[in-house]
Amino acid sequence: MSEHPVKAAVRDAESSTPLRALARGGYAANGVVHALIGVIVLTIASGARGESDQAGAFLAIAAAPLGFAALWILAALLWALGIWHVLEGIVASHASDVKKWGVRVSEWGQAVVFVALGTIAASVALGAKPSGDSAAKAASRGVLNLPGGSWLLALIGVGIGIGGISFVVMGVRRSFEKKISLPSGPTGAVVATLGVVGFVAKGVALTIVGVLLVVAAVKVDAESAGGLDGAIQALLDVFLGPLLVGLVGAGFIAYGVFCFFRARYARL
């Protein structure tokens, strides 16, 4: 049976050399963002102040010479990577519909993340000064005002927490290696190690974000919610907090470097 014309056209677009090149650039752009977040988190661990999330990273870029031009480049690359994941979800094919739709949900979820990142970068380039933590509190406040809002916010928190745990599992089990073609020798070992450390660190941070949202739902208090910046601040308050925050910061840098290698070795 011949492939549906629309799906065939999507497959041709997804496999085009220009889009694949831009998608690889998107992974590199994602690496820049995570590496900068890691640097900011490390400075916070040492006692400095800063906004340790994607918005903070983009604001740091905006403050650099030609930063706004760099932001537009990052936005375009992140959008391209988002488009590639949308197309990848459309052409997904598996033996069962359950697996096929599982892949589609995963691909489209990643597309939303990268498009949102690109949009934040573009907004900062246009002069906005977003705050991820404030946005999380505002969104939580809106959810809590809905009928059954506490339950909904709790479910969102649990979902994010599960996503964080999945990142940890992907790091520990090294399942991310299915998405890249690891080079042989020491380079491959370095890339794998960076992936393990980076996925675990990002997973820990996302899990804390999920916990904060669940706490906000239980307390019916949006101020208890928070984004990545809130998660880092919460981690600072526990025993050996600065050390743990420093490890998370180093992990984000490792994830950022891994993304640079992924730009080169990703299976697209």
List the structure tokens of 198: 């980076």
- Numbers of helices and strands, H then E, in the chain: 10, 0
176-209 per-position pLDDT tens digit: 888 888 888 899 999 999 999 999 999 998 898 8
pLDDT at 8 over 70: no
Question: In sequence order, what are the residues at sequence separation of 6 or more whose Cβ sits closer than 8 angstroms to the Cβ of residue 241?
Answer: 235
Residue 193 CA: distances (Å) to CA of 10, 114, 205, 264 = 35, 24, 19, 16
Question: In sequence order, what are the residues at sequence separation of 6 or more whose Cβ sits closer than 8 angstroms to the Cβ of residue 26?
Answer: 77, 78, 79, 80, 81, 82, 84, 114, 263
The pLDDT value given to residue 233 = 83
Contact status, residue 265 vs residue 183, Cβ threshold 8 Å: yes
Label residue 9 by pLDDT band (50, 70, 90). Answer: low
110-130 per-position pLDDT tens digit: 899 899 999 999 999 998 887
Contact status, residue 126 vs residue 48, Cβ threshold 8 Å: no
The pLDDT value given to residue 15 = 63
pLDDT averaged over every residue in the chain: 86
pLDDT at 1 over 60: no
Q: Looking at this protein, which amino acid is placed at residue 238?
A: V
pLDDT at 224 over 50: yes
